[in-house]
Amino acid sequence: MRLFLLALILTLLLPKTGWTSNADSLKYINATNFELIGKGFTDTENIYDRLPASLNGKTRPPVWSLSKNCSGLAIRFRTNSTIIAAKWEVTGDVVMNHFAPTGIKGLDLYCLKNGKWQFVNSARPSGKTTTTTIINHMPGNDMEYMLYLPLYDGLASLEIGVKSTATIGNSTIDSPRKAKPVVFYGTSITQGGCASRAGMAYPNQLSRMLDRQIVNLGFSGNGQLDLEIAEVMADIDASCFVMDCLPNVTVAQMNEKYVRFLEIIRKKRPDVPILLVETILFPHMYFDQTVFALLREKNEVLKKIYTDHKKNDRHMYYMKGEKLIGNDFEATVDGVHLTDLGFIRMSENLYPVIRKMIK
């Protein structure tokens, strides 16, 4: 009781100036007021969805559900605020035992400095709804920002908070460049599992490295060559397509649908480069002989598909999997899904190939 009375007296005696908290002096703006990048389709059910509404009921339910995750999407804005905060609500409040919450449902802020995108800080989620300061005590210069959205959860709402006296508006610099995005199709690894934060997913890393927007069509466990996905992919005016779905498909599915998937894209985009990516070599395959044989077989089947197509398609490219994540067996969380180290290695290996394709 004495401590309470002492605190009350001190509060009354102290001057009011400077006692307004940062949170109280912020204004929050709905993120829909700013440019949303990384979106392949405009006709979606909700603004932060990744597939067109026309596929609802047409594609498999797991694919449709995963398309509600925001992987690859980011908000571009410009502000001179000394503080940047965020309020957001996720749709699923997803929790996994091998995946950091900052990657699953957090936000990831970058700033454009000297022509390069530099990591600022991550916004750590506290549950289904979160309000948090991302960065504070900045000099107040007018700067360009990019806020990556959650990799493995959807967004019901998002607001960006800045100082009440600050200006905030749409970006004025075209970076990553809008024209002709790189389109990725694949698995949980493509979607970003298990990056510690959204900016570390390899498609997002490559977007910054190439200074080119990307479209992420990675569907965890469900990159299974669904032909309706090929149809809508081909509608995107892409600079290239990256096929990274081998971990999710069986050899039977490859023999049945892989060639048809490519033919659908080629019918609409005959001259756009396509990169076929082998499956990475999972570290545990060197102990599990069944997995070893299966991964080797998938890569052999893919190599034959590539060889057969390359004879008549000069815009087809190939990436071997044996060195994609290094050879020290240290690049995964669980023998399959990548750590940030694995994603960095994958990005660095894919970068020169994709750069050549889109040059």
Q: Does domain 177-358 have CATH number 3.40.50.1110?
A: yes
Q: Does domain 23-38+73-169 have CATH number 1.10.238.10?
A: no
**Stretch(es) of the chain classified as CATH 2.60.120.260:** 23-38+73-169
Residues near 101 by beta carbon (within 8 Å), at least 6 away in sequence: 95, 124, 125
* 172 closest CA partner among 211, 143, 138: 143
> What is the per-residue pLDDT for 200?
98
Q: Is the peptide bond before 247 cis (omega within 30 degrees of 0)?
A: no
> What is the per-residue pLDDT for 6?
43
Lookup: tokens for 308: 């057969």
> What is the per-residue pLDDT for 22?
52
Q: For 105, which DSSP code?
A: H
User: Which segments of the chain are extended strands (E)?
Assistant: 26-30, 35-37, 74-79, 84-90, 107-113, 116-123, 129-135, 143-148, 155-163, 168-169, 177-186, 212-218, 240-244, 274-277, 316-319
Predicted TM-score (pTM) of the model is 0.92
Instruction: Chunk the chain into consecutive blocks of 10 residues (it has 359) and report each block's average pLDDT, rounded to whole numbers.
Output: 43 36 79 98 98 98 98 98 98 97 98 97 97 98 98 98 98 97 98 98 98 98 98 98 97 97 98 98 94 96 96 96 95 97 98 96
**Stretch(es) of the chain classified as CATH 3.40.50.1110:** 177-358
- Between CA 278 and CA 335 the distance in angstroms is 17
